[in-house]
């Protein structure tokens, strides 16, 4: 065989070895794996129902933990935060729904924030109020609080509803609230849809207080 012919054959073999393998077999193999993974589920109705229940049982504890410690949808009842929340306060069928952030509710508190807390009078009841004063502030109280002014002790806050006096049970009834009773912060309004969006607590005009010295 001529030398040039041998060189051409050798060159062709080398080129074939260096040429990348076609992608189609790899893609076909991957798709086969996906189909096999999907195909392991039971085919009978009873088997599929049991499989779905098993998946649900697996995720329920995760969802419950997130709901208890991270974030929760809260239905607000009553006129305590009227008109900011429950603007249709006379209707029991149109309660606002807010998103409550429950992770580390006691940190980075600011005046004007809307928070959920366990009522000091009844810890089984969760109330929603606005922070008026922080520890060290002096608040000018409203009836029925027995003193005209109160200095908020360490580890406590002063909360009030947005409704007019007499329509809300808040710190003017039970005094400063321990931060340990805080459950979360209302971060978004989810319903009604025309109010959907972030709770812009920073736009709230605070009532006058004597703030703690910096």
pLDDT value of position 36: 55
CA 70 to chain CA centroid, Å, is 6
pLDDT value of position 7: 47
Within this chain, do residues 156 and 145 fall inside the same structural domain, yes or no? yes
pLDDT value of position 205: 84
Q: Is the peptide bond before 128 cis (omega within 30 degrees of 0)?
A: no
Within this chain, do residues 82 and 43 fall inside the same structural domain, yes or no? no
Q: Which whole-number Å values give the CA distances from 92 to 19, 75, 79, 165, in the listed order?
A: 73, 11, 10, 21
SS3 assignment, position 110: coil
Taking the C-alpha atoms of residue 161 and residue 164, their distance in angstroms, rounded to an integer, is: 8
Q: Which of 11, 12, 29, 80 is catalytic?
A: 80
**Token representation of residue 157:** 């806050």
Within this chain, do residues 110 and 195 fall inside the same structural domain, yes or no? yes
Active site residue 91: no
Q: Which of 89, 102, 129, 179 is catalytic?
A: 129
Within this chain, do residues 168 and 179 fall inside the same structural domain, yes or no? yes
Within this chain, do residues 82 and 130 fall inside the same structural domain, yes or no? yes
Within this chain, do residues 81 and 177 fall inside the same structural domain, yes or no? yes
Phi/psi zone of residue 108: left (φ > 0), alpha (ψ -120 to 50 degrees), beta? left
CATH number (domain holding residue 153): 2.10.109.10
Provide φ and ψ at 75, rounded to 5°: -90, 120
Domain that holds residue 139: 71-210
Domain boundary among the residues 69, 89, 124 is at 69
Taking the C-alpha atoms of residue 126 and residue 119, their distance in angstroms, rounded to an integer, is: 6
Domain boundary among the residues 37, 69, 101 is at 69
pLDDT value of position 139: 96
Write out pLDDT tens, residues 3-23. Answer: 455 445 444 444 444 444 444
Within this chain, do residues 64 and 114 fall inside the same structural domain, yes or no? no
- Return the number of other C-beta atoms located less than 10 Å from residue 112's C-beta: 16
The total of structural domains in the chain comes to 2
Q: Among candidates 193, 210, 191, which has minimal Cα distance to 97? A: 191
Within this chain, do residues 48 and 91 fall inside the same structural domain, yes or no? no
Active site residue 102: no
Q: Are 100 and 184 in contact (CB under 8 A)?
A: yes
Q: Are 159 and 170 in contact (CB under 8 A)?
A: yes
Within this chain, do residues 63 and 77 fall inside the same structural domain, yes or no? no
Within this chain, do residues 56 and 77 fall inside the same structural domain, yes or no? no
Domain boundary among the residues 45, 69, 93 is at 69
User: Taking the chain (214 residues) in consecutive chunks of 10 residues, what is each chunk's mean pLDDT?
Assistant: 49 44 49 53 71 75 79 90 85 85 94 96 93 96 94 97 87 96 96 94 85 70
Within this chain, do residues 58 and 102 fall inside the same structural domain, yes or no? no
Q: Is the peptide bond before 54 cis (omega within 30 degrees of 0)?
A: no
Within this chain, do residues 138 and 203 fall inside the same structural domain, yes or no? yes
Over the range 49-75, which residues count as b (16 or more CB within 10 Å of their CB) and which as e?
eeeeeeeeeeeeeeeeeeeeeeebebe
């Amino acid at each position: 065989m001529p030398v040039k012919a041998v060189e051409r054959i050798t060159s062709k073999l080398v080129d074939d070895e260096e040429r990348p393998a076609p992608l189609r077999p790899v893609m076909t193999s991957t798709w086969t794996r996906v189909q096999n993974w999907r195909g392991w589920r039971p085919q009978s109705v009873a088997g599929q129902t049991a499989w779905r229940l098993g998946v649900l049982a697996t995720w329920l504890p995760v969802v419950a933990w997130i709901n208890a410690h991270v974030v929760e949808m809260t239905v607000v009842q009553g006129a305590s935060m009227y008109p900011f929340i429950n603007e249709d306060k006379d209707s029991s069928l149109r309660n606002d729904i807010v998103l409550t952030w429950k992770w580390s509710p006691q940190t980075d508190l600011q005046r004007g924030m809307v928070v959920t807390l366990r009522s000091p009078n009844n810890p089984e009841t969760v109330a929603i109020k606005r922070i008026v004063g922080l520890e060290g502030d002096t608040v000018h109280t409203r009836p029925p609080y027995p003193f005209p002014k109160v200095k908020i002790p360490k580890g406590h806050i002063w909360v009030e509803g947005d409704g007019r006096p007499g329509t809300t049970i808040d710190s003017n009834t039970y005094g400063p609230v321990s931060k340990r009773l805080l459950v979360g912060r209302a971060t978004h309004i989810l319903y009604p849809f025309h109010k959907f969006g972030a709770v812009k607590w920073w736009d709230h005009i605070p009532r006058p207080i004597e703030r703690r010295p910096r």
